[in-house]
A and B are shown apart, each in its own frame.
Chain A
């Protein structure tokens, strides 16, 4: 059995490791423990080690446990996830309602034993609960795409725009050094844009990320602080974005939104 323990507090992780080891030794089972200290690390470890069970803390810096669980559960064969928390009134209410596994810290050995025996991967309904909870508090910090059974993480702050084409949505983003194994950045001003396809609709993305992104066209959602200028051509308006050579068409009814944004940010409101 491969177990991944995710917690941002070293003492909490240490204790869990010890208890898991004790349990495994008692039932004489081969086991391997991996640890991670935040949501992003958890996804990386899940990619690398393919654990059977993940013990996931909820509140963590960078990316919280709920979001990490959503991304991980999107895999074809996801690990079973048991949440751990010291106190989280709202999340626990939702967990109770949907029978999502959770353990309260300080975790008892018996309850952990039980959880390890009975846990199973999150079902669709349970995942929805996690996303609802997330939407109420704040938008996701990352978007994920699945590539050959692995999760590709894209930090929302690196995304320049979402473009809808046919049935899919294309994400254009700058490479994130922190997520790459080795940094290959020579010239920071000329970072190459990456793009990938995700299966989310522009409408849901717009709702979730309305704080940072602006809808400019039926098929385009752009990052507000990347807006450089608005150009009028013969019939259409084109918005120019930093780091993107090609302009993006702005539909007539969104022109005023873009103008307002440029004006407000020009006044130093951003």
Chain B
């Protein structure tokens, strides 16, 4: 039982059944409670006072509990069936229709059998006036409405659960797009090595890492000055240089960019990370990353170039970083900024273009 439950949980994204587990004790308990409440309502609802209410309640409860519990059993088996044959894709409509059918069938069965029991023992307290068909129709109508409401409720609850799940998933992905676990653990390893051999450098790498993460972990990305962004990028490169040694060389050609230009924080760090991942780490001899920036027609043009023997334009991780930057540019510059990539022979280039806006009020950090 435990194991099958485990399996179910792992399968949720594929199967996505909205039916809850009716074999669960908690579920059965709530079915009983809801059934009892319904019995109360049905007993209290008729307006004639002559009837013996306690007797009515007992009989109605008995009837409803039979329906509720057998219905739970039916849905429980139906659910197991769906989970067992989970290679077929079931639409929610089909699941709902089958569940509804089973519930109505069970109501019919119980109505019929109770009718015969009542006739056989001649207990005709409640249904003295109604005929056989009236009795059945009456029960089916009430049962049908309640079942429909219940199924609808389960469906909505399930949708809500899925929504919560996807929301937290996307949040996590967004966070990981910003902080690649790879980078964090590799840096930790670098620090661990340096602590033995070169404590001073280890100290500096730790400081650099702290500074980067302080910016990375900010809930809201903000606009910072270009000189600040350049400084953060250099911190990042310094950390990676420790790790990759001579394989990483970088060439900055950004002197003409205005220090006070406003850029989203950590705009180019993910691009440098990509360049290192594909252009340096993937090559035995390493390579050179070239960052070129210029101010042209009141626009900042920044391009990052790395050698890359394999075509990475369509790689998943790469795409995610680019999409992320594109979104952020849109948020800050509403379509006035752009990012483009191109692969020419072995050279992969990412080019950013954003309007030159001076950073107001805030202090411009000197790089």
Give Cα distance in the complex from A265 to B189, angstroms.
46
Given A10-B245, A11-B190, A106-B188, A18 contacting B281 (CB threshold 8 A): no
A149 interfacial contact with B, CB 8 Å: no
**Are A14 and B181 in contact, with the CB atoms below 8 A?**
no
A38 interfacial contact with B, CB 8 Å: yes
Closest to A39 in B: B284
Q: How many residues of B contact A (CB 8 A)?
A: 23
Give Cα distance in the complex from A14 to B198, angstroms.
12
Given A11-B194, A14-B197, A15-B192, A61 contacting B245 (CB threshold 8 A): no
- 1/0 per position for B270-285, CB-CB distance to A under 8 A? 0000000000011110
A200 interfacial contact with B, CB 8 Å: no
For chain B residues 312-338, which have a beta carbon within 8 Å of chain A? none
**Residues of B participating in the A interface, judged by any CB pair closer than 8 Å:** 181-182, 184-186, 188-194, 196-197, 242-245, 247, 281-284
**Are B189 and A86 in contact, with the CB atoms below 8 A?**
yes
Chain A interface size, as a band, is 10 to 19
Give Cα distance in the complex from A62 to B245, angstroms.
17
Interface centre among A11, A12, A18 (most CB of B within 10 A): A11
**Are A86 and B192 in contact, with the CB atoms below 8 A?**
no
Q: Is the interface of B mostly helix, strand, loop or mixed?
A: helix
**Are A86 and B196 in contact, with the CB atoms below 8 A?**
no
Give Cα distance in the complex from A153 to B282, angstroms.
20
Number of residue pairs across A and B with beta carbons under 8 Å? 58
**Are B284 and A12 in contact, with the CB atoms below 8 A?**
no
- 1/0 per position for A209-237, CB-CB distance to B under 8 A? 00000000000000000000000000000
**Are B192 and A61 in contact, with the CB atoms below 8 A?**
no
Closest to A178 in B: B284
A-B contact pairs, 21 of them (CB 8 A): A8-B281, A8-B284, A9-B245, A10-B245, A11-B189, A12-B189, A12-B190, A12-B243, A37-B284, A38-B284, A86-B182, A86-B188, A86-B189, A87-B181, A87-B182, A87-B186, A105-B186, A106-B185, A106-B188, A106-B189, A106-B191
**Are B185 and A61 in contact, with the CB atoms below 8 A?**
no
With A12-B189, A14-B197, A105-B189 already in contact, 13 other A-B pairs whose C-beta atoms are closer than 8 Å: A8-B284, A11-B243, A12-B190, A12-B193, A15-B193, A15-B196, A61-B284, A86-B189, A87-B182, A87-B184, A87-B185, A105-B185, A106-B185
Question: What residues of chain A lie closer than 8 Å to B189, measured between beta carbons?
Answer: 9, 11-12, 15, 86, 105-106
Selected contact of B185 from candidates A9, A11, A37, A86, CB within 8 Å: A86
Question: What residues of chain B lie closer than 8 Å to A87, measured between beta carbons?
Answer: 181-182, 184-186
**Are B188 and A9 in contact, with the CB atoms below 8 A?**
no
Give Cα distance in the complex from A116 to B281, angstroms.
28
Give Cα distance in the complex from A43 to B182, angstroms.
26
Question: What residues of chain B lie closer than 8 Å to A140, measured between beta carbons?
Answer: none
Question: What residues of chain B lie closer than 8 Å to A11, measured between beta carbons?
Answer: 189-190, 193-194, 242-243, 245
Given A12-B189, A15-B189, A86-B182, A61 contacting B282 (CB threshold 8 A): yes
Selected contact of A9 from candidates B182, B243, B282, CB within 8 Å: B243
A59 interfacial contact with B, CB 8 Å: yes
Give Cα distance in the complex from A12 to B245, angstroms.
11
Selected contact of A61 from candidates B193, B242, B283, CB within 8 Å: B283
For chain A residues 13-41, which have a beta carbon within 8 Å of chain B? 14-15, 18, 37-38
Closest to A86 in B: B185
Closest 7 CB pairs of A and B: A86-B185, A106-B192, A15-B193, A11-B193, A105-B189, A106-B189, A86-B186
For chain A residues 33-78, which have a beta carbon within 8 Å of chain B? 37-38, 59, 61-62
Nearest-neighbour CB distance to chain A for B193, whole angstroms, equals 4
- 1/0 per position for A107-132, CB-CB distance to B under 8 A? 00000000000000000000000000
Nearest-neighbour CB distance to chain B for A172, whole angstroms, equals 24
Question: What residues of chain A lie closer than 8 Å to B283, measured between beta carbons?
Answer: 61
Nearest-neighbour CB distance to chain A for B289, whole angstroms, equals 15
Nearest-neighbour CB distance to chain A for B177, whole angstroms, equals 14
Closest to A15 in B: B193
Question: What residues of chain B lie closer than 8 Å to A15, measured between beta carbons?
Answer: 189, 192-193, 196
Closest to A9 in B: B243
Question: What residues of chain A lie closer than 8 Å to B281, measured between beta carbons?
Answer: 8, 59, 61
